[in-house]
Amino acid sequence: MTAPLPRALKPFVQFATVLRANGFAVAPEQTQAFVAAVGLLGPVSMRDIHRAAVPTLAPPPERREEFDALFRQLFHGQTLAAPANADPEDDEDLQVFDAKEGEIEPPEGTEDQDVGGEATAIERLTLRQFRDEDPRETLRRFARAAPAALPRQRSFRRRAAKTGDRWHMRRLMREAVRRDGEVLSLPKLTRTTRQRRILLLVDVSGSMKAHTDDAMSLAHVLVSAADRAEVFTLGTRLTRVTRALRLRRREQALGVTASLVSDWDGGTRLGDALDAFLHVPRFASFARGSLVVVLSDGLERGDPAVLTAAVGKLSTLAWRVAWLTPLAADAGYTPSTAALKAVLPFLDHLGNGAGLRPLCDEILALARRLDAREARRVGAFLLPSREKVDRAERETDEGVGHPGPRRPLIRRFAPPSPARGEGNRSVTYWSGQTS
Q: Is 356 in the same domain as 209? A: yes
The pTM assigned to this predicted structure is 0.58
Residue 415, pLDDT score: 45
Residues 272, 164, single domain; the answer is no
Element (H, E) at 321: strand 320-325
DSSP labels for 262-306? Answer: --TTB---HHHHHHHHHHSHHHHHHHTTSEEEEE------S-HHH
CA 296 to chain centre: 11
pLDDT of 161: 82
One-letter-per-residue 3-state SS of 105-148 = CCCCCCCCCCCCCCCCCCCCCCCCCCCCCCHHHHHHHHHHHHHH
Same domain membership, residue 182 and residue 66: no
Last residue of a domain, one of 82, 101, 119: 82
* Best CA proximity match to 257, nearest among 300, 209, 290, 219: 219
Residue 200 sits in the same domain as residue 287: yes
Q: Total domain count for the chain?
A: 4
Do 353 and 391 meet the contact criterion of CB atoms below 8 Å apart?
A: no
Radius of gyration of the chain (CA): 30
Residues in CB range of 146: below 8 A, 6 or more apart: 221, 222, 225, 226, 363, 364
Looking at the fold, whether 293 and 347 belong to one and the same domain comes out as yes
Dist CA 20 CA 84 (whole Å): 22
- Alpha carbon 333 to chain centroid distance? 23
Secondary structure percentages of the chain, helix, strand, coil, to 5: 45, 15, 40
Report CA-CA distances (Å) from 327 to 153, 265, 332, 355: 31, 18, 11, 11
In this prediction, residue 122 carries a pLDDT of 56
Which tens digit of pLDDT belongs to each residue from 281-293?
999 999 999 999 9
Q: Is residue 390 part of a domain?
A: yes
pLDDT for the residue 1: 47
**CA 279 from centre of chain:** 18
pLDDT number for residue 125 = 55
Instruction: Indicate whether 352 and 238 sit together in one domain.
Output: yes
Alpha carbons 421 and 176: distance in angstroms, whole number: 35
Where residue 317 sits, what CATH number does that domain have?
3.40.50.410
Facing residues of 322 across strands? 293, 349
Mean pLDDT of the chain: 76
In a domain, 219, yes or no: yes
Q: Are residues 343 and 226 in the same domain?
A: yes
Q: Among residues 44, 65, 82, which one ends one of the domains? A: 82
Around Cβ 337, how many Cβ atoms within 10 Å? 15
- Measured CA to CA, the distance from residue 57 to residue 410 in angstroms comes to 83
> CA-CA distance, 320 to 334, in Å (whole number)?
20
| Per-residue pLDDT, 407 | 37
| 362 contact partners, CB below 8 Å, separation of at least 6 | 322, 324, 351, 352, 353
- SS3 (DSSP) at 96: strand
Helix (H) or strand (E) holding 238: strand 238-240
Residue 115 lies in a domain: no
Residue 2: inside a domain, yes or no?
Answer: no
Q: How far is CA 232 from CA 220, 223, 274, 295, 315, in A?
A: 12, 12, 10, 11, 17
Same domain for 398 and 327: no
Q: What pLDDT shows up at residue 420? A: 44
Query: What confidence score (pLDDT) does residue 317 get?
Result: 93
pLDDT in tens, 43-69: 777 888 888 888 888 888 888 888 888
Residue-level pLDDT at 47: 82
Between the CA of residue 126 and those of 123, 129, 148, 214, what are the distances in Å? 10, 10, 38, 20
Which pLDDT score is estimated for 99?
60
118 domain residue, yes or no: no
With respect to residue 405, please indicate whether it lies within any of the assigned structural domains: yes
Same-domain status, 181 and 293: no
202 domain-assigned: yes
Residues 69 and 167 in one domain: no
Which residues span the domain enclosing 422?
383-429
Q: Are residues 255 and 370 in the same domain?
A: yes
Distance CA 331, CA 335 (A): 12
The region, left, alpha or beta by phi > 0 then psi within -120 to 50, assigned to residue 336 is: alpha
d(CA 12, CA 28): 12
Q: What is the pLDDT of residues 251-265, one digit of tens each?
A: 999 999 998 898 888
Contact 70, 16 (CB under 8 A): no
314 exposure class (CB count in 10 Å sphere: 0-12, 13-18, 19+) = buried
Round to whole Å and give the CA distance between 397 and 394. 5
Cβ proximity of 185 and 176 under 8 Å: no
Picking from 194, 223, 244, the residue at the C-terminal end of a domain is 194
In a domain, 292, yes or no: yes
Whole-number pLDDT of residue 410: 34
Q: pLDDT under 50 in the chain at which residues?
A: 1, 79-91, 102-118, 378-386, 388-389, 396-435
Name residue 160's beta-bridge partners. 189
**Is there a single domain that holds both residue 365 and residue 344?**
yes
The pLDDT of residue 402 is 40
